[in-house]
Structures are given as structure tokens and as C-alpha cells.
Amino acid sequence: MAADRIVLDTSGYSHLRRAHEGVIALISAAHLVYLPVTVLGELEGGFRAGSRYAANEQLLAEFIEEAFVEVLPTTRGVAARYGEVFAALRAAGTPIPMNDIWIAAHTLEAGAHLVTFDRDFERVAGLPLTLLSATAPAGRSSGP
């Protein structure tokens, strides 16, 4: 599903760097691509644990400088969304990793559509998302 505003999670950005056709198509169709600050932290951790830190940092910096890319900061509104999602997942007995809750909260607060390869996000009620497969370029969409 093409969306006007999309959020890339860490897996989405990583697959973009691998030239995944599905990610490229969704980015091409969007007017805005958001990267939550939580995703930047996860990427930094991965870059520092790898052997291509400088090259990865340069590619990320160039991507962030694109006119259609915006970094989403953690705001009070995002924190409130985090609390809502956390409580709902806990009540349902379906927890997901904390960073994924932050990414979902950013997506909901921005009124955007999440592009991910991570099935954990399917547990977040009302989260508009496209779940892509690493082996196939097309994915499944859910949400409004």
C-alpha cells in the first residue's frame, strides 16, 4: 500500500540499503519519509558493532539530508502514545520489544504508515503498517 507519509523502522532502512524493491517503491511513492530517533539509535548501535562504521554513517547522513526525509524526535505526545501502546500490549499479554513500542508511538503520533519487516508490529492495534518480506519485494498492508 502506497502512503503519503511513511516511517521506516530499522529493518526498513536496512533493506533500503540492500536495494529491496518493495522499500524503494514505497519511498518513491511517499512525500515524506520519517526516521524516528529510536531508529537512529538502533542504527548507530549496529554501525558501531560492525566493520563499516564510517561508510554506514555517511550513507545515513546523506539519506537524512534528503528533502523528503525527516527525523522524528521523542516528544511528550510520542511519550503519551508510548504509554497507550505499552499498556494495551501488556493488558493483551502480547508484549513487544520496548524500542518497537517507541517506533509504533512515533508512527501513530505522526499519523504515518510504518514500513517494516518485523512481525512484532502486527500486535499493535490500529497501527497502519506494511509488512514486507526479505525474500519477496511485495508485502502485506494492514491498517486504514
CA distances from 46 to 10, 42, 60, 130 (A): 10, 6, 12, 23
Domain 12-142 has CATH 3.40.50.1010: yes
Backbone phi, then psi, for 105, in 5-degree steps?
-60, -45
Domain range list for the chain: 12-142
> How many angstroms separate the CA atoms of 121 and 62, rounded?
28
Over residues 116-139, the pLDDT tens digits come to 999 999 999 999 999 999 874 444
Cross-strand bridge partners of residue 140:
131
Side-chain-side CA neighbours of 139 within 13 Å: the count stands at 24
More confident residue, 5 or 134: 5
Structure confidence at residue 144 (pLDDT): 38
pTM: 0.91
Of 122, 121, 138, 139, give the one whose Cα is nearest residue 130. 139
Structure confidence at residue 1 (pLDDT): 60
Over residues 30-85, the pLDDT tens digits come to 999 999 999 999 999 999 999 999 999 999 999 999 999 999 999 999 999 999 99
Grid cell, residue 90, equals 501488556
Sheet holding 129-131, edge to edge: 69-72, 32-36, 5-8, 113-116, 129-131, 140-142
